[in-house]
Amino acid sequence: MSASKKSDKPAKPAARESGEVPPVKLIPIYVMGKRYEVPEGLTLMKAMEHAGYKFIRGCGCRGGTCGACGTVYRKPGDYRLQVALACQKTVEPDMHISQIPFFPANRALFEFEKLTEAPEEVFKLYPELFRCVACNACTKACPQGIEVMDAVSALKQGNISGAAEIAFECIQCGLCTGRCFGELMQYHMFQLARRIYGARIAPRAEHLARMTESIAGGRYEEFLEKLQGMSEEELKELYREREVEPVTAGEDWTPQDKTYL
Ligand code: SF4
Ligand code: SF4
Ligand code: FES
């Protein structure tokens, strides 16, 4: 029989159609030096749970935003110590992992109401800032891909807005702090920069001020009362009939009914 001739036997249905569960491929990983076999494709966090670890610390959102699951790892034959969020990174064969869920770092105490946007305020609260030796180890350690050293440099130059912008996506995992030669606590400094920027430097949102004023002035009271008096069906109907913003709408799109704008 030629290799290309079709078999008379009915084809075996694909696993998904037949309901069969495909076999799980296990790969070895090392958690704090101990070897485990875990299913391929799991995140480090799930792999550790599969291995029997229970997270009572070092786990929060499981979505890459809370910064609770900082992890360091090394792969065989690779000299580099690498970093990841355990809830995001998937396992690779033979990787050695260890979680760093909290890295001690001093946080300056201050009364925010009394702080101004003067750079000296940051210098006074975090004089360690000037211990930075520009080694860039912090940038390499950041699982968010933030140019950490650039944000530190911006702060040193008194550029609070620049630091706030560069470090906007900092999730305060602390991995940069753990690698810093100058023993800085970058994430607390960045949080301060963002707060000062938000409260003292960013332009005020005038449209928001107008809207809150108009809400406080009772503009929507009558409409809200009308809604409260409606039945569930009437509310559903109102929802179905609403004018939906088109997906391709431009920035200047407004609904035809402008009563409550
Ligand atoms: S800047 Fe530091 S604390 Fe912030 S996300 Fe990056 S490594 Fe984590
Ligand atoms: S790791 Fe520390 S010393 Fe090195 S560049 Fe970053 S802040 Fe500066
Ligand atoms: S659990 Fe929140 S970032 Fe990983």
Does residue 185 sit in the same domain as residue 116?
Answer: yes
Compute the distance from residue 5 Cα to the ligand 3 centre, in Å: 53
- Note whether residue 260 is domain-resident: no
Q: Is the CB of 137 under 6 A from ligand 2?
A: yes
- Note whether residue 209 is domain-resident: no
Which amino acid type is present at position 102? F
- pTM comes to 0.78
pLDDT attached to residue 168? 97
Does residue 92 sit in the same domain as residue 164?
Answer: no
CA 41 to chain centroid: 21
- Note whether residue 2 is domain-resident: no
Residue 191, both tokens: 């949080």
Q: Is the CB of 71 under 6 A from ligand 1?
A: no
Closest ligand by atom to 176 CA = 1
Of the residues 155, 180, 201, the one at which a domain ends: 201
Domain extent at residue 135 = 112-201
- Polymer length of the chain: 261
**Residue ranges in the chain whose pLDDT is less than 70:** 1-18
Q: Whose alpha carbon is nearest atom 1 of ligand 3?
A: 62
**Cα(100)–Cα(175) distance, integer angstroms:** 8
- Note whether residue 236 is domain-resident: no
The number of folded domains in the chain is 2
Q: Whose alpha carbon is nearest atom 3 of ligand 3?
A: 64
- Note whether residue 244 is domain-resident: no
- Note whether residue 220 is domain-resident: no
Check if the beta carbon of residue 87 is closer than 8 Å to that of residue 45: yes
Which amino acid type is present at position 50? H
Compute the distance from residue 195 Cα to the ligand 3 centre, in Å: 22
Q: Whose alpha carbon is nearest atom 8 of ligand 1?
A: 173
Does residue 117 sit in the same domain as residue 65?
Answer: no
Of the residues 152, 184, 201, the one at which a domain ends: 201
- Note whether residue 241 is domain-resident: no
Q: Whose alpha carbon is nearest atom 8 of ligand 2?
A: 132
Does residue 85 sit in the same domain as residue 121?
Answer: no
- Specify the ligand 3 atom closest to the Cα of 67: 3
pLDDT attached to residue 15? 53
**Cα(33)–Cα(140) distance, integer angstroms:** 24
Check if the beta carbon of residue 99 is closer than 8 Å to that of residue 30: no
CATH number of the domain to which 70 belongs = 3.10.20.30
Does residue 74 sit in the same domain as residue 120?
Answer: no
Of the residues 186, 201, 216, the one at which a domain ends: 201
CA 61 to chain centroid: 9
Residue 21, both tokens: 């569960």
Residue 223, both tokens: 């409409």
- Note whether residue 14 is domain-resident: no
Q: Going along the chain, which residue ranges are E strands? A: 26-31, 34-39, 70-74, 82-85, 96-99
Check if the beta carbon of residue 169 is closer than 8 Å to that of residue 103: no
CATH number of the domain to which 167 belongs = 1.10.1060.10
